[in-house]
Structure 1
Amino acid sequence: MPEGHTLHRLALLHHKAYAGSPVRVSSPQGRFSADASLVDGSVLEAAEAHGKHLFHVYGPDRVVHVHLGLYGTFTDGEPPVPEPVGQVRMRLVGGAQWTDLRGPTRCELLTDVEVDALRGRLGPDPLRADAEPERVWERISRSRSSVAVLLMDQSVIAGVGNVYRAELLFRHGIHPSVLGRDLDRALWDEMWPDLVALMELGVHRGRIDTVRDEHLPEATGRAPRQDRHGGEVYVYRRTGMPCLVCGTAIRTEVLAARNNYWCPTCQPA
């Protein structure tokens, strides 16, 4: 599932391409047709993201909400606009671009009240200017759940997924089993700005890179990472491979129904 940086990157791209002008909105597949007709031809006022949720704002009580889920994807191109290929849930056409959405978990028109309710269920988003890290700390510091579980809880922090979770814990030497209530406040005060910086880098590059300069392939002479997710990482999907810092074999286990990765030497229990 795409992590928060992907949705913020999409919001920036869609805002740049469509905001301020009328947009043709349709649903070639048909499942979004009724809602699409209510905003078709309207001016897109803004595109923004909160966590793993994307919002196209067309005006009061007219906000298209998209959650990509596991299979949702956007594709785009320049005119001429081609015939739809596959199950296109939503098509946007405006200015010098067209965009197709396929396979999302949610694509729906919401009122402002419904948007507020949805966002009210989400935790602070590290990529938003209105994020309140103190709210995150209050939840974590009172919890008997592990930090690894809490980082993936969208009601605690919005936008963090499996990759950022594993990589943030590694970068700060935290074993996945450490409980939220046992996390040191000074350590958390280092983790939050690091998470913000990593996710901002993800927005800029369009991929997740978490490896410090001294551990990059060009610095160590190792081969670059070969993985469909792209980016240079320390532990994510590196089970059995040597840690880039200490050489210990990376381990994995299922935690809250997701694979979690860590180095037993750099992240001691």
Structure 2
Amino acid sequence: MPEGHTLRRLALDLTAAFAGEPVRVGSPQGRFAAEAADLDGEVLVAAESAGKHLFLAFPGERFVHIHLGLIGAFDILPLAAGEEAPAPRGAVRLRLVGRRAVADLRGATQCALIGAERRDAVLAGLGADPLRPDADPDRAWERIRTSKRSIGELLMDQAIVAGVGNVYRAEVLFRQRLDPFRPGTSLRKGQWQAIWDDLVELMADGVRVNRIDTVRPEHTPEAMGREARVDDHGGEVYVYRRTGQPCFVCGAAVRTEPMASRNLFWCPRCQRRWRLRAVR
């Protein structure tokens, strides 16, 4: 499932390609036909993301609410001046056509036309998004510090921290040398603040380069004289999808284990298991 930086990059690209101009809105597949007809020819005000959700804003407080899910994609194709949009390929649920680009939505789990009240309800149900300037990390901390669930699970809870997925979860915990299995109640405020600050920086960088890179300068392929990572997720990482490979920092074999229906990756030496100390 795309992580928050992908949705933010997509929102920026859609805004740059279509905002401020009338757009043709269609549904070649037919599942969004009535809604598309209502929006066809309207000006796209802007696109914005919140966590893993995308909103296309149209006049009259109308929003197309999109969640890509596991297999969804929203592809943008630039058009030359006067060039006609190519025929849609595959099951295109939503198509936007402007003067400079065409965008096709396929495979999304959510594509609905909603009003401001419903949009506000969706936003209210999301946790703090490290990519949004209005995010409140203290609200997330209040949930984390009172929870006995593991920090690895809490970071994936979109009602607590929005936009963080399996890659950022594994990588930020490695970078902070934290045991993914330790309960939220065991964390100190300073540890949570360090996690949050790291997520803000890493995810903003992910938006900028459109991929996830989490290794520090001393652990890049160039610095270590190693081969660059080849993976469909792209980017250089410490532990994600590196099961059995040596940790770049300590050399221990990276481990994996299911957590909350997803594969968790961590280094058993750099992220030593937390143990509750007995109080005398």
Tell me the TM-score normalised to structure 1 length. Answer: 0.99
CA distance in 1, matches of 2:52, 2:59: 22
TM-aligned CA deviation for residue 39 of structure 1: 1.0
1:1-269 matches, within 5 Å, as 1-77=1-77, 78=79, 79-269=83-273
2:214 match: secondary structure: coil
| Alpha-carbon contact 1:243-1:263 (below 8 Å) kept | yes
CA distance in 2, matches of 1:114, 1:174: 37
| Alpha-carbon contact 1:90-1:102 (below 8 Å) kept | yes
TM-aligned CA deviation for residue 71 of structure 1: 0.7
- Listed one character per residue, the Cα deviations across residues 126-166 of structure 1 (whole Å, up to 9, x for unaligned) are 10010011111111111110000000000001100000000
Structure 1: unaligned runs, 5 residues or longer: none
TM-aligned CA deviation for residue 60 of structure 1: 2.9
CA distance in 2, matches of 1:189, 1:58: 36
Aligned residues: 269
- Listed one character per residue, the Cα deviations across residues 4-52 of structure 1 (whole Å, up to 9, x for unaligned) are 0000000000011111111111000000001111111111111100000
| Percent identity of equivalent pairs | 58
| Alpha-carbon contact 1:173-1:267 (below 8 Å) kept | yes
Task: Output the amino acid matched with 2:104.
Answer: D
2:94 match: secondary structure: strand
2:6 match: secondary structure: helix
Q: How large is the RMSD of aligned CA atoms in angstroms?
A: 0.7
| Alpha-carbon contact 1:60-1:112 (below 8 Å) kept | no
Task: Output the amino acid matched with 1:215.
Answer: H
Structure 2: unaligned runs, 5 residues or longer: 274-280
Task: Output the amino acid matched with 1:42.
Answer: E
CA distance in 2, matches of 1:192, 1:169: 11
Q: Stretches of 4+ moved more than 6 A in 1? A: none
